[in-house]
Each structure stands twice: as structure tokens, then as C-alpha cells.
Structure 1
Amino acid sequence: MADKAAIVTGGARGMGLATAMILAADHHIVLTDVDETSLGQAVAQIEANGGSAEFVVADITSRDQVDAVFAVAAAAGGLRAVVHAAGVSPHMASAEKLIEINAVGTIHIGEAALAVANEGFALVNVASIAAQMVPGFLIPTRAFRYASTDVAKFRRKLVAAATRTGRKMAAAQAYPISKAFVVWYSADRAAAFGAKGARILSVSPGSFDTEMGRIENDGGAGKLTEFAALKRFGRPEEIAELLAFCASEKPGYLTGVDILCDGGTKAGMGLREMVQLARQA
């Protein structure tokens, strides 16, 4: 077993599993997700490739369950990295559930990571291009500060922002709000992690060929590729290379930032194209 461990949330499939496969070259991997069958299959895949892995079934909306995942990783060796890829998209959940999983879940992971962070530790949060595709006035940035002082109030304010235009579009509004929070949180907590010699940052994928990406194909993910420089869906292993690099010890001065990996989508879009896409969503 490797003498250092890495946690990958949302590790049962998609970009989470692809990232775990790379990190397994020199880390013992602790996968977590809510699907026990898929987690077992993912561990078997990592081990068949020569890696060392185990899994913990956990719901990241529960701080106690998150702490249990970190305890397993600590027992496996020195926890050096966390890649937080767990999340849901608009066609998968209600506005309330989106906020709970994507935003509150990120707080739980971040607090648990900060508690054990030390020199060389890294937390990489997966955000989304969606965080950059909506007007800033729709993002309740002032409410984000309650993440560290009053999570209940934080939750209420984000849900209220997502539902201000009605229930029909609530989930579609909640998703970019929740992912904008991931970007904000990763920058806001950089100093706290830095005080321990540790790093935190976010990566914002564009349209990728994962299970979630296919679910959202008709909701805009497919349409985005029409504006991209690379007119195709990204492959899970492509974003995994970036996530694994960010989580590694190599980019030791990289922290507090968001990295957009979208095949040149945002570069090919102006305000008119963004409005057009929003109307078609």
C-alpha cells in the first residue's frame, strides 16, 4: 500500500474515477459516493490496474459521514490530497438538493480537509463552466460569507436566490449558483489552507462525456460545444489529467484560483451567445 492516501469524492464513475486511476500510481485511493455497487466496481478497476484502493459509502451532505471518510483515509496512511468531484446537475435534483449537495457538501469537505491539512496537502474542488455563464447579479455572492458562520442561513439564501424567478427554472438557477460558490469558496479559504502550507483551488469543466454530461446534453451541455474551439465533448481522462496534476505536489504554488477547462467554449461566446443559450435552455 502506498505511504500516502488521496480521497476522491464522486469516485464511482466519470471524471472522479478517471482521476482516481491516475492518482493511484502513487497514492492509496479512498473512493466515496452513494452507490455501493459502482464503488465496488471502481475499486476493482483500480486494483486490476495495479493500484491500491478502498471505498466508503457516504453522503457528503452529512458532516458525520464526511468525517468517517476522512477517518478511513487517515488510517490508510498520510492523507495528502482530496479531489472533490461529487455533485449533481439540474436534471438530477431539485433546487434545494442541488444547493445541499453542491454547496453545503463542499463546505463539509472543505472543513474536514482543513482540519487535517498540512505541508504539501491539496484540495481540488470541481466547479463548472456554468458558474461563469450567468450574469453576476444572479449570483448571491454576499450570502456566500455565511458558509463559515451560519450554514442554515447560507442554505436559505441560496435557495431563495434560485427560486426568485419561480419554481420552473429553480434547478437551472441553483446549479450555477452552487458552482459559483465552489469557485468563491476555493478562493476564500486559500489563506486558511496556506497557513498550514496547504493548497485549495477549483477546476471548472465545460461539456464532458460523462454520465452527468449526457443527462444534461439537451439542457445545454451539447449546445455549448457549438461555440467551442474544439467542437466535441471532452473525455473524462482529459479533465482527470488536469485534476490529478492540480492535486499532485508538482504545482506547489498553485492555490486560490479557478481553472477553466472547456475546450475553448467561453472564448467563443459573447454576451449575445450567452443570452441565446439561456433562452434555449
Structure 2
Amino acid sequence: MSRSVLVTGGNRGIGLAIARVFVDAGDKVAITYRSGEPPAELVGSGVLAVRCDITDSEQVEQAYKEIEEKHGTVEVLVANAGITRDQLLMRMSEEDFTAVLDTNLTGTFRVVKRANRGMLRAKKGRVVLISSVVGLLGSAGQANYAASKAGLVGFARSLARELGSRNITFNVVSPGFVDTDMTRALTDDQRSGIVAQVPLGRYGRVEEIAATVRFLTSDEASYITGAVIPVDGGLGMGH
């Protein structure tokens, strides 16, 4: 049966690939986006695109009301929206640190808490949080980003214990270096240096992240909760 699916930050990169895989599966898909415009082909495929800044609780509430009115209660939530403000610690402002935490970690709290209302009533739900290999390995110049992404692991595992009896699963996908617009902007030397660290010797594809998310929300994964699934070419193994 077609489910009501919400992907935050679903207008580009990994989020867009995740939205597409659910569309292809016949689900009713909504995305949130903060800036720019969603791709025309996504909207043309029936995806509901809602502008929403997840740092604003009222915008989150209004987004859910619109989605519920048009697609019904959200049954699958993929919390993907995130930002970076990279800087070495001695140059990182408090605003740079808190802005990243407020979007990546507290923003996830906001969208998960709001989705949980309907999932509790339905006594079922699937939640996937998109973290990063950086949250496990650490990365110089990304203390704020790494802290926010590491925080998602503790958040998901706590909720897996709290809500497992209600048939709501919480899992984390931890992508490595993925071929997106952001990484394509790097120089050839920078890209080569990154690939040299990856045992599989290449960048990941957004479709590989999306396929993992899709599996974790499927019936076949109904006994998986509190897991952290790395999709990183082996970069973060052992963490």
C-alpha cells in the first residue's frame, strides 16, 4: 500500500535521491526545502514540496498540517536536512557552532517529535536519520558538523528504546563521501585525496544512500532498530 512519506531537505543531493526512490515505489511523498526551488520533474511526479525552515517550530507545525491534509499522517520520516559552516575551532564563532547544531540536531528533534504524534496513534512508524561518517570519524574544521551528526546516533538509539514497544523503528544511515554538487566543486587534487582514504577507491552515489534508506523503511527491515548503517566505501569501519 502507498504510504505517506516525508523527506526533509528533499530538493537536492541525497534528499532528492531518497525522495525519488519512494516515488518509484508508489508512495505519497512530501519534501521540505528551505531555499531554492524543488526540481520541476519532482513536482511533476506528484511530490508535495513544502517550504520549511526546520529551525522554526511553527514552520514545522504548518508543514505537517499541510502534508497531513493532502497525504494523511506521516508514516515514514527521513530526516535529511542539514547545513555546514566549516571552520577551525579557534576561528569558529559561537553562532557558527549553534546554527549547525540547531539545524542538524535540534531541527531533527523538531521534525521527529511532530511525526511521532501520528505514529503513536497508528502504533507504527519508520524513522531514518541521515548522519555522516564525519560524525563517527571526526574531521578537522568540522567540529560543529561532526558533533551534530554524532548526536543523531544517541538521539535515534534513545528513541528506539523509548518507542520500540509501539512498533516505531529508528535507524541511522551514515554516508561517506558522496558524489554531489558539493563534492564536485572540489579541486581534482582535493577529490583525489579524499578517494585515497576510501577502501573501495571511489565516491558513493546518492542512489546507494537512497536504496539503504528504502530498505530500512521496508517490511523486510521491521526487526531492525537502533542501527547505524555506514554507506561509506569502508571509510569509517570500526567506528
TM range (shorter): 0.7 to 0.9
Instruction: Give 1:65's aligned residue.
Output: 59
**What TM-score comes out, normalization by structure 2 length?**
0.85
Alignment equivalent of 1:227, drawn from 192, 197, 201 = 197
Cα-to-partner distance string for 1:170-214 (whole Å, 9 max, x where unaligned): x62101100000111010111233132111111110000113344
Instruction: Give 2:90's aligned residue.
Output: none
* Cα deviation, residue 116, structure 1: 1.6
* Cα deviation, residue 36, structure 1: 4.8
Alignment equivalent of 2:133, drawn from 118, 129, 133 = 129
Matches within 5 A, 1:177-256: 177-214=147-184, 223-256=193-226
Cα-to-partner distance string for 1:206-236 (whole Å, 9 max, x where unaligned): 0001133445779x87634212121111111
Gaps of 5+ in 2: 88-94
Instruction: Give 2:91's aligned residue.
Output: none
> Match of 1:264, SS?
coil
**Correspondence 1:11 to 2:10:** yes
Matches within 5 A, 1:129-148: 129-134=133-138
* Matched letter for residue 106 of structure 1: T
> Match of 2:179, SS?
coil
Structure 1 runs of 4+ with >6 Å offset = none
Q: Does structure 2 retain, via aligned residues, the 8 Å contact 1:89–1:216?
A: no
Alignment equivalent of 2:108, drawn from 103, 106, 109 = 106
Q: Does structure 2 retain, via aligned residues, the 8 Å contact 1:31–1:39?
A: no
Question: Separation in 1 of the partners of 2:15 and 2:195?
Answer: 22
Q: Does structure 1 retain, via aligned residues, the 8 Å contact 2:20–2:42?
A: no
Cα distance, 1:71–1:195 mapped onto 2, change above 3 Å: farther
Cα-to-partner distance string for 1:221-253 (whole Å, 9 max, x where unaligned): 763421212111111111111112112333001
Give me the CA root mean square deviation: 2.7
Instruction: Give 2:117's aligned residue.
Output: 115
Gaps of 5+ in 1: 136-168, 271-281
* Matched letter for residue 82 of structure 2: G
> Match of 1:212, SS?
helix
Cα-to-partner distance string for 1:25-82 (whole Å, 9 max, x where unaligned): 22111111112523555323xx1xxxx3111100011112112222222221342101
Aligned residues: 228
Cα distance, 1:194–1:216 mapped onto 2, change above 3 Å: farther
Question: Separation in 2 of the partners of 1:87 and 1:58?
Answer: 13
Cα distance, 1:217–1:130 mapped onto 2, change above 3 Å: farther
Instruction: Give 1:139's aligned residue.
Output: none
* Matched letter for residue 130 of structure 1: V
Question: Separation in 2 of the partners of 1:217 and 1:203?
Answer: 27
> Match of 2:81, SS?
coil
Q: Does structure 2 retain, via aligned residues, the 8 Å contact 1:11–1:42?
A: no
Alignment equivalent of 1:260, drawn from 224, 227, 230 = 230
Q: What is the identity percentage for the equivalent residue pairs of Structure 1 and Structure 2? A: 27
